[in-house]
Structure 1
Amino acid sequence: MTTMAARIIHVSIERDWRDVYAFMADHAKMPLWASGLSSGLTRDGDEWIAPGPLGNARVRFAPDNEFGVVDHLVTLENGAKVHNALRVVPNGDGAEVMFTILRQTGMSDEQFATDAAWVEKDLAALKTILEKDQERPKTRKDMP
Structure 2
Amino acid sequence: MSARQARIVHISIERNWREVYDFAAKPENMALWASGLGSGLEADGENWVAHGPLGSVRVKFAPENDFGVMDHIVTMASGLEVHNALRVVPNGDGAEVMFTLLRLPDVSEEQFEADFRWVLKDLNTLKKRLET
Report TM bin, short chain. over 0.9
C-alpha distance in 2 between matches for 1:61 and 1:116:
21
Matched AA of 1:80: L
The amino acid that maps onto 2:87 is: R
Any unmatched runs of 5+ in structure 1? 133-144
Match of 1:68 in 2: 68
Question: Percent identity over the alignment?
Answer: 62
Q: Is the 8 A contact 1:68 1:87 kept in 2?
A: yes
Deviation track 1:43-100 (CA, whole Å, cap 9, x = no partner) reads 0001000113443100000000000000000001110000000000001110000000
Runs of 4+ in 1 over 3 A off after TM superposition: none
Q: Which residue is equivalent to 2:37?
A: 37
Partner of 1:113: 113
Q: Given that residues 36 and 53 in structure 2 are in contact (C-alpha distance below 8 angstroms), is that contact kept between their aligned partners in structure 1? A: no
Deviations 1:11-52 (A, max 9, x none): 000000000000011110000000112311100001000113
The residue matched to 2:11 in structure 1 has which SS? strand
Change (3 A) 1:19 1:54: closer
User: What corresponds to 2:21 in structure 1?
Assistant: 21
Q: Give the length in aligned residue pairs.
A: 132
Contact kept in structure 2, 1:31 and 1:38, CA below 8 Å: yes
The gaps in structure 2 that reach 5 residues or longer are none
Give the structure with higher Rg (CA). 1
**1:38 & 1:5 partners in 2: Cα distance?**
26
**Aligned AA (1:50):** A
The CA RMSD over aligned residues, in Å, is 0.8
What residue in structure 2 maps to residue 84 of structure 1?
84
